[in-house]
Structure 1
Amino acid sequence: MYFAVIGDMIGSRTLSDRQSAQNSLQEALEEVNRFYTDSLASLFTITLGDEFQGLLNDADELMEIVDRIRFSVYPLKLRFGIGVGSMSTEILHDVSIGSDGPAYWAAREATKYIQENNDYGYSEICVRLYLEHKNELEEQMTETVNSVLRLCGRMEKSWTKSQYAFVREVMLKYNYGTAGEYYQKKIAEELGISPQMVSSRMKNTGLTTYISARQNIEKMMQARWGDQNE
């Protein structure tokens, strides 16, 4: 089983400088391709100007990769469809264009769902599973993952601009930290603020809970579907 990711910019046609936006996206994808290359079956590739896709071997860093892209291109907004399934064609590591199969079919279905179901603006990431014989447990697990993602989306929408800026800076510097934890003293030194301020912002944003939820999504998806590659 593979994990396909398809993303696109939200409202790209209304951007005043689409070229700058595309350049920002390209830089973010290139950085992810360098940093997470061992996790990628196919490198992230821009496919239609504002759309891109990539293929992961496992889910161990799935949400971290998605978040890395999201926070890198801010204030641009992206939506992501994540598909779990097999592949029907040859997989090329250096480029994801041309590859196809159930994993990508599921990712496209997930992207379409987001477009058609706004959920008050909270749903920007959706997971779909493509199996010939899905059972009730598979359906329940997929819905649980999507429910957690929606809750995380609601958390994000509650952040103030300064809180979002803090989370973004921490995420881009330290990703998901060490086992979901961050060394607050080091963050304080690098950001030039007091440890008490870091502690307060961590608490007020619920960052550790947010990261824990997303890491549990990775663990759940890997345990259920990723290990089938082994």
Structure 2
Amino acid sequence: MQIFIYPLTTLLFFLYLTGNKCNAYINIIIKEKLMKNHFVFIGDIIQSRRITDRAQVQRKFSQAIEKLAKSHGHLFLSPPTLTIGDEFQAVVKSTANLFLILHQFEVEMHPVHMRFGFGLGSIDTPLNTRAAIGMDGSAFHNARTAIEEARQLGKKYALVSSINKDQSAALKLLLSWIDLNLQNWSNEKLQIFVWNRQGKRQREIADILNISQPAVSQHINKPIFALLLESEQYLEKQFNIFLQGNKND
């Protein structure tokens, strides 16, 4: 038995010739062909209502968002944008170094703590390249569900996706492991992790943080440091594989 695979244009032309009743099928095929994969994240200040000097924190928050947009603008399709008083969101072009830039943001916001919701899915409206507002689709809905999950469960990071359930479950499990290990890290320890990921030497990190080189070495040489780095980079790679599905159109 021979199976013939026709190009999309031939298939659409055939459906058109068979009559108007096939228009619905044509629309479905076109929609699926044009659908893009997107990654959206929402950042949220933890327990923002308990902050006493809200005006100062709000200024700090706005400055950190602006700095993120300027220093890593090439990583975004739609730049980090303040949406409500204690939240911001962005549409990501590439998830390379995703956790690195989020950790940098967390360091900027210290001692205020942050949580992040990741959404994998589609954007069904025109992309707004100037600000991450005025758009809709499953990527945004999933990010919203993820940030609510993080809020309810006391997590730093949460993921909701529209990909294969088994694959999604594996990614969520790894993210939960990362979250569990980073929950109680001090700001200094997180900074050591960030600078180390950027390739700084132990002596350089010690000088930046004004601590001893042995103190830096004590953290970096722990197996958990390398394992966390590998885990974050693996997730970044898997998220990018999802985004690279766009190149097959």
The answer for the alignment partner of 2:85 in structure 1 is: 49
The answer for the alignment partner of 2:219 in structure 1 is: 201
Aligned length: 211
Distance in 2 (alpha carbons) for counterparts of 1:142 and 1:200: 35
The answer for the alignment partner of 2:182 in structure 1 is: 156
Are 1:176 and 2:197 matched, yes or no? yes
Kept in 2, the 8 Å contact 1:167–1:207? The answer is: no
Q: What amino acid maps onto 1:126 in structure 2?
A: A
The answer for the alignment partner of 2:12 in structure 1 is: none
SS in 2 for 1:3: strand
Are 1:128 and 2:146 matched, yes or no? no
Deviation string, structure 1 residues 155-190 (Cα, Å, up to 9, x no partner)? 22344xxxx232233356x37324xxx422332344
Q: Give the TM-score of the pair, scaled to structure 2.
A: 0.76
Distance in 2 (alpha carbons) for counterparts of 1:188 and 1:33: 28
Q: What amino acid maps onto 1:81 in structure 2?
A: G
- Distance verdict in 2 for CA 1:193–1:75, change over 3 Å: closer
Kept in 2, the 8 Å contact 1:68–1:175? The answer is: no
SS in 1 for 2:221: helix
Are 1:88 and 2:88 matched, yes or no? no
Q: What amino acid maps onto 2:69 in structure 1?
A: N
Distance in 1 (alpha carbons) for counterparts of 2:105 and 2:71: 12
SS in 2 for 1:60: coil
Which of 214, 234, 237 is the aligned partner of 1:216? 234
Are 1:7 and 2:28 matched, yes or no? no
Distance in 2 (alpha carbons) for counterparts of 1:192 and 1:175: 15
- In our comparison, the structure showing a higher alpha carbon Rg is 2
Q: What amino acid maps onto 2:189 in structure 1?
A: V
Deviation string, structure 1 residues 114-159 (Cα, Å, up to 9, x no partner)? 233x1xx3x22111113xxx5xxx2222222222222222222344
Q: CA RMSD in A?
A: 2.2
Q: Percent identity?
A: 26
Distance in 2 (alpha carbons) for counterparts of 1:205 and 1:156: 14
Are 1:167 and 2:185 matched, yes or no? no
SS in 2 for 1:206: helix
Distance in 2 (alpha carbons) for counterparts of 1:192 and 1:109: 40
SS in 2 for 1:47: strand
- Distance verdict in 2 for CA 1:194–1:50, change over 3 Å: closer
